[in-house]
Amino acid sequence: MSATVLYMSMSLDGFIAGPNEGPDNGLGDGGHRLHEWALTGADADHEGVSGRLTGANRQVVDEFMATGAIVAGRGTFEPAGGWGGDHHDGVPIFVLSRQEPGIDTGQWPLVTYVSDVRTAMTEAKQAAGEKNVLVHGAATAQLALAAGLLDELEIHLIPVLLGQGRLLFDHLGPEHIELDRTRVLEGDGVTHLHYRVRR
């Protein structure tokens, strides 16, 4: 069955970006550190991000590149240049935003701006069919968790304390959200932790 799966690189102290994020500093100061594991394998021949990855890292990247739709927050999508309008393989991209697009999306038929998380997740799941939905972004994750719309989490846990930045899990209520650990993969420079949200 199709699942909505949050894929995020997070430091051991919970950050998914460094401090001082901005339009020209999308990952915050030093935030690129969290993505080194995935970029190590990238090459200049446009073979793609997973080109030279091996083992667990390759497996995880292959998985999220096999998803059938994307839900991303505006704060993830726009600083990433909207992935040029196509994250992978022409799958639809639903951008969660309460504002008008901050970049020109006119030539990108795969991209739809959606103002509420339930619509975004529902439409993405429908578009993905049998495939999973890749969910990206801290604010989106928080809204989806709070609304009970997130099925699984794949946390790429990076062996670093960033000290400051943007926390992945923030602004959640005091109710516990129980998870079941379904997989642990030890990749080069990262530990991939997979959880299912308990309902």
Binding residues for its own copies (CB under 8 A): 12-14, 18-19, 29-30, 33, 145, 153, 155, 157, 159-164, 167-169, 172-181, 184, 186, 191, 193, 195
Minimum distance, C-beta of residue 143 to its own copies, in the bound complex (Å) = 14
Q: Please identify, using beta-carbon distances, which residue of 111 and 145 lies nearer to its own copies.
A: 145
Distance in angstroms (rounded) separating the CA atoms of residues 195 and 187: 17
Q: SS3 for 60?
A: helix
Q: Please identify, using beta-carbon distances, which residue of 64 and 195 lies nearer to its own copies.
A: 195
Q: Please give the full DSSP string across 74-142, using - where no structure is assigned.
A: HHHHTTTGGGGG-SSTT--EEEE-SS--SS--TT-TTEEEESSHHHHHHHHHHHHTTS-EEEE-HHHHH
Minimum distance, C-beta of residue 163 to its own copies, in the bound complex (Å) = 4
Minimum distance, C-beta of residue 2 to its own copies, in the bound complex (Å) = 22
Q: Please identify, using beta-carbon distances, which residue of 119 and 182 lies nearer to its own copies.
A: 182
Minimum distance, C-beta of residue 5 to its own copies, in the bound complex (Å) = 15
Task: With beta carbons less than 8 A apart as the criterion, state whether 13 and 163 touch.
Answer: yes
